[in-house]
Amino acid sequence: MAARIPLDRIRNIGISAHIDSGKTTLTERILYYTGRIHKIHEVRGKDGVGAKMDSMDLEREKGITIQSAATYCVWNGSQEQLQPHNINIIDTPGHVDFTIEVERALRVLDGAILVLDSGKGVQSQSITVDRQMKRYRVPRIAFVNKMDNPGANYERVSDMLKEKLGHHPVNLQVPIGAESAFAGIIDPIIGKAYFFDGDDGEIVREAEVPAEYTKATAAAREKIIHDVADVDDTLGEKFINEEPISVDDLRAAIRRATLALKMTPVMCGSAIKNKGVQLLLDGVVHYLPNPTDVVNEAHDQSKGEEKVVVESDPSKPFVGLAFKLQQDKYGQLTYFRVYQGTVSAGDTIFNTSNEMRKVRVPRMFRMHSEDREEVPSAEAGDIVAFYGVEASSGETFTDGKVNYTLTSMFVPAAVISLAVAPKDRTMEVNFSKALNRFTKEDPTFRVHQDEESQQTIISGMGELHLDIYMERMRREYNCDVIAGKPQVAYREAITRRAEINYTHKKQTGGSGQYAKIMGYIEPLPADAVEAYEFLDDVSGGSIPREYISSCDKGFKEGVRKGTMIGTLGFAPPALYHAFAVSNPGTKLLGPPPTINVGGFHDVISGSNGAFSATPNYDYTTGLGTLDVDALNAVIGQ
Ligand SMILES: Nc1nc2c(ncn2[C@@H]2O[C@H](COP(=O)(O)OP(=O)(O)OP(=O)(O)O)[C@@H](O)[C@H]2O)c(=O)[nH]1
Ligand SMILES: [Mg+2]
């Protein structure tokens, strides 16, 4: 293997946008210009081959991306002016039904390209994707694609970024012409024009700015300085003192402000016409973070979930996040982002999200869409796929020296459900095999048995989402499926804060229980990473520490069940809740009860057994009742 590229020359980026804006077409160009592929194939191209990143048959047939795909390349700059940089890329689907693919990519990436259609600008899915980027604090470059299309308008799209997404967009380029006359791009920062020659735009020709654009170029440079100085103090000071501002000063300021999420650099081009892609890659190097620029935090489970920073340092203990599972012809592939330390084939690693279960890593690969390259080890900052490592997506693994867990990703609730059955009884085994695998790979695809009808119900993010899985059952598992009528999955939501004041009293046989809990429930912000948050605000030991986790469990169960409809729990956008709990004057009326919380069995001692006792559920806490009563009160208001 070639010598490792140092961390400051690594970029882990996602390409995300509204459907059909050209993400896969753009990625295809990136792979071509960096020498990863030797011929360009179009999405829905006449040659019928299809783009590299859309490797699934269904993707090629439908001309849309369904699964995200990872790849990597090395970039030396549009003029070979840069040291080699390793760019790891995840191309994601734009269709809203596959939003989990965007979610998990953005969870593990350091930066992103937000692609926008030059005519349509900020579209519905751009808003969703932008919210996901904000959730994980991902700095991004906006790329205004399709500059060759009728109605192309770079400035207007940039204005929409401000109006609709609240960004501070800064236009880094001046397009030369637009629509069918779109010919090239000016970079006002260095004052040069670029044209893309050769059959596939592979030759980037640097030229003087055409005379008719000199005024516009000077004005654009002024505006860049002005707009960046607004959000970067160092540049701001130079600007006020009227000191000369060099190319490096300006680029450094843009980088700082972009990483601090204070501005969005806006660039443009036409992926299909092979224009602007190399300059965008230069932009990725200049303005998007390397792994060490990003602060990643974990919870130390051995220190009561204390927050710790995981460092992009290969010599520290290994910490990695399993973010995507995929089955291929060779077996189970688990994609990992390594956040800290080093992991090598043959190592034993520990699943800190699942009771430190240990697994051996037999082999690991760097992925290039469906192709792979075996590597002996991976270091902090890398994205790799392990073979033969059992995991669920969102689980943290370490080398066992530390017991850290990383924040998992936000999983949206289902919006639609469908009763399904295999057409033929002989297919039942394959039917359940397929459902098993799909639910493991995709947390937004859920399966349950309807208690009354005994039917198998699948639920997901939309009709297309469910259709794709039924089609995959037919193709990959030889199992035809009959389906009922789709049902919209209604869910309940908390809309505003409400107070809780609940007294639990129970006398059973010899033992009695008494507990009083006060607190509040309120919606979390729409961009919260976790769908449920428990806030322990107990003071003065009014509820002893050992019972706080029982309170948490009881509330969680209440949220999962919901109150009115019962099965699917509460839904965004009015997201779940936080609690403060306090319990003045608790006393126990009898001997302590025995309880079972989940799979965990404990005998309560002390004087507050009632916190974990249960009038309604025999496996969870007495607070389950509290939830339902309190939530009823909230929803009823
Ligand atoms: N005119 C024009 N068309 C483009 C450009 N880039 C892509 N397209 C076309 O737009 C369509 C969608 O392109 P894709 O690359 O599949 O878009 P995508 O964003 O990956 O789509 P999903 O992954 O399904 O969300 C294709 O027909 C492309 O040929 C461009 O720069 N100009
Ligand atoms: Mg695509």
**92 and 240 share a domain?**
yes
State the pTM of this model: 0.81
**340 and 210 share a domain?**
no
- Band the pLDDT of 392: cuts 50, 70, 90: confident
The DSSP result for 451-465, as a single string, is TTT--EEEEESSHHH
Q: Which one of 15, 43, 465 would you pick to mutate in the ligand 1 pocket, going by the greatest count of ligand atoms within 8 A of its CB? A: 43
Long-range contacts formed by 546-553: CB under 8 A, 24+ apart: 546/606, 547/608, 547/611, 547/612, 548/581, 550/597, 550/611, 550/612, 550/621, 550/623, 551/517, 551/579, 551/581, 551/611, 551/621, 551/623, 553/597, 553/598, 553/620, 553/621, 553/623
> Over the stretch 305-364, which tens digit does the pLDDT of each residue have?
888 999 999 999 999 999 998 877 777 889 999 999 999 999 999 999 888 899 999 999
Residue 364: the pLDDT is 94
Q: Is the peptide bond before 443 cis (omega within 30 degrees of 0)?
A: no
**45 and 173 share a domain?**
yes
- The residue range of the domain holding 324 is 296-406
Q: Which one of 20, 90, 143, 468 would you pick to mutate in the ligand 1 pocket, going by the greatest count of ligand atoms within 8 A of its CB? A: 20
Q: Are 604 and 522 in contact (CB under 8 A)?
A: no
Which amino acid type is present at position 470? M
**52 and 192 share a domain?**
yes
Q: Which one of 25, 101, 126, 275 would you pick to mutate in the ligand 1 pocket, going by the greatest count of ligand atoms within 8 A of its CB? A: 25
Question: What CA–CA distance (Å, rounded) separates 343 from 207?
Answer: 47
**597 and 616 share a domain?**
yes
Instruction: Tokens for 154, please give them.
Output: 């770079």
- The domain spanning residue 180 has which CATH number? 3.40.50.300
Residue 305: the pLDDT is 81
Boundary (domain end) residue, out of 406, 424, 439: 406
Residue 314 lies inside a defined structural domain of this protein: yes
**401 and 273 share a domain?**
no
The yes-or-no verdict on residue 488 having pLDDT over 90 is no
Residue 106 lies inside a defined structural domain of this protein: yes
- The domain spanning residue 620 has which CATH number? 3.30.230.10
- The domain spanning residue 424 has which CATH number? 3.30.70.870
**456 and 380 share a domain?**
no
End-to-end CA distance of the chain: 64
Exposed, middle or buried by CB within 10 Å (0-12, 13-18, 19+), for 614? buried
Pocket of ligand 1 (CB under 6 A): 17, 19-25, 42-44, 64-65, 93-95, 145-146, 148-149, 270-273
Residue 85 lies inside a defined structural domain of this protein: yes
Residue 205 lies inside a defined structural domain of this protein: yes
Q: Are 280 and 143 in contact (CB under 8 A)?
A: yes
Residue 46: the pLDDT is 83
Q: What is the b/e burial string over 563-573, where b = at least 16 CB atoms within 10 angstroms of the residue's CB?
A: beeeebbbbbe
The Å distance, Cα 336 to ligand 2 centre, comes to: 22
- Band the pLDDT of 226: cuts 50, 70, 90: very high
Residue 572 lies inside a defined structural domain of this protein: yes
Question: What CA–CA distance (Å, rounded) separates 562 from 571?
Answer: 9
**563 and 590 share a domain?**
yes
Higher pLDDT, 478 or 543: 478
**89 and 206 share a domain?**
yes
Q: Which atom of ligand 1 is nearest to the CA of 270?
A: 31
Q: How many domains does the chain have?
A: 4
Residue 282 lies inside a defined structural domain of this protein: yes
Question: What CA–CA distance (Å, rounded) separates 434 from 479?
Answer: 9
**143 and 289 share a domain?**
yes
Residue 171: the pLDDT is 98
Backbone angles phi, psi at 269, to 5 degrees: 165, -170
- The domain spanning residue 312 has which CATH number? 2.40.30.10
Question: What CA–CA distance (Å, rounded) separates 389 from 408?
Answer: 18
Look at 57-61, 65-69, 406-410 and tell me which has the smallest mean pLDDT: 406-410
Q: Which atom of ligand 1 is nearest to the CA of 94?
A: 25
Look at 13-17, 506-510, 604-608, 630-634 and tell me which has the smallest mean pLDDT: 604-608
**27 and 140 share a domain?**
yes
Residue 411 lies inside a defined structural domain of this protein: no
The Å distance, Cα 163 to ligand 2 centre, comes to: 26
Boundary (domain end) residue, out of 353, 388, 406: 406
**50 and 173 share a domain?**
yes
CA nearest neighbour of 396 among 293, 332, 318, 303: 318
Task: Report residue 555 CA to chain centroid gap.
Answer: 26
Task: Report the DSSP pairing between strands 481-483 and 456-460.
Answer: unpaired
Look at 156-160, 172-176, 210-214, 553-557 and tell me which has the smallest mean pLDDT: 553-557
The Å distance, Cα 48 to ligand 2 centre, comes to: 16
Helix, strand, coil in percent for the chain, rounding step 5: 30, 30, 40
- Neighbour count for residue 315 (Cβ, 10 Å): 10
The Å distance, Cα 23 to ligand 1 centre, comes to: 6
Residue 212 lies inside a defined structural domain of this protein: yes
Boundary (domain end) residue, out of 344, 372, 406: 406
The Å distance, Cα 128 to ligand 2 centre, comes to: 16
The yes-or-no verdict on residue 492 having pLDDT over 70 is no
Question: What CA–CA distance (Å, rounded) separates 306 from 240?
Answer: 43
SS (H, E, C) 466-505: HHHHHHHHHHHHCCCEEECCCEECCCECCCCCEEEEEEEE
Residue 491: the pLDDT is 58
Average pLDDT, the chain: 82
